[in-house]
Amino acid sequence: MIFLFEKFFSDKTRERTEKIILNLALISFFIHLAVIYLLKFDFIQLPLGADLLENPISAVYTPFSFILIYEVYLLIYYLPKSITTYITKQYEIITLIIIRKLFKDLSSLELSSDWFEIKGDLQFTYDLIGSLLLFYLIFQFQKQGKKKFVPVDLIKPRIDKFVYKKKMIAVVLVPLFFGMALYTLVVWSLGFSLIPNELAPFESVNNLFFDEFFAVLILVDVVLLLISLFYTDQFNKIIRNSGFIISTILIRMSFGVSGAISTILIVAAVLFGLAMITVHNKYEKDMLLEGVKKK
């Protein structure tokens, strides 16, 4: 198991994966752009007018999809290293999903005085404001995640055992997520080629894979919480990790709704996670100060 972990998550593997993904992102962007212009000048014909093939701006959607794949890899990569970094990656992924959707929506905006009466323009507004709020909340979450109040040397033996368990989980997640992504791609491709005129609406396409991805993350978060109970009985850490599960559930729920509710759920999820880690750090700091006073 450790051999597989070193194989999947060594620095060399991470750097190689990053280069491959970035090259694919760049190539996919130019291919998408080329297809759009070939369609525009009638050099090729497709059986349906897909939204992603009508405007050059929407070509940015494809490279962002590859960037999201790399973010999924980084999420698994950081899982054994830090719970807070692992949760941060969850928040970054959902924010990038919104940003990716913004590029598509930007290509089909209807600029008129009836802005707030057009559903597509309203959704663009929600996502634009939501992405800005999420960027700030993630920044604050990262700041809170870097705060350490307990010397690592005092808890290192317990941490090493917990890290080993997390490494095993990470090794399992690699083929699982790869299989899920491959299955989603095959099913969607077959649906596109066999019944193109009944292709799922864009909202569904935007949620492909990541709907199930966050469902799996909920289970992973629960497993991490249960395993952590073997190594700590501190109330603040139990509540913090439980709060992270609730945060992931709220993100997962956002895929089942649309409009402002979806954006609100995502922002609420990250805000809840930030509140949890902030209170946890305050709790840990006060406990440390009390211990110093007693001495």
Name the pLDDT band for 19 (thresholds 50, 70, 90): very high
Q: Is the pLDDT of residue 295 over 60?
A: no
More confident residue, 85 or 195: 85
pLDDT number for residue 291: 65
The pLDDT mean for the chain works out to 85
Contact (CB, 8 A) for 44 and 36: no
Q: b/e for 169-199, b at 16 or more Cβ within 10 A?
A: ebbebbeebeebbeebeeebeeebeeeeeee
Pick the more confident residue, 18 or 204. Answer: 18
pLDDT at 217: 95
* pLDDT (0 to 100) of residue 198: 47
What pLDDT, on a 0 to 100 scale, did the predictor assign at position 183?
Answer: 86
Taking residues 72-81, report their average pLDDT. 93
pLDDT tens digit string along 25-43? Answer: 999 999 999 988 888 887 8
pLDDT value, residue 50: 60
pLDDT tens per residue, range 85-97: 999 999 999 999 9
Question: What is residue 124's predicted lDDT score, i.e. its pLDDT?
Answer: 86
pLDDT of the residue at 202: 47
Q: What is the pLDDT of residues 134-183, one digit of tens each?
A: 999 999 999 999 887 665 555 566 678 888 899 999 999 999 998 998 88
Q: State mean pLDDT over 271-278.
A: 96
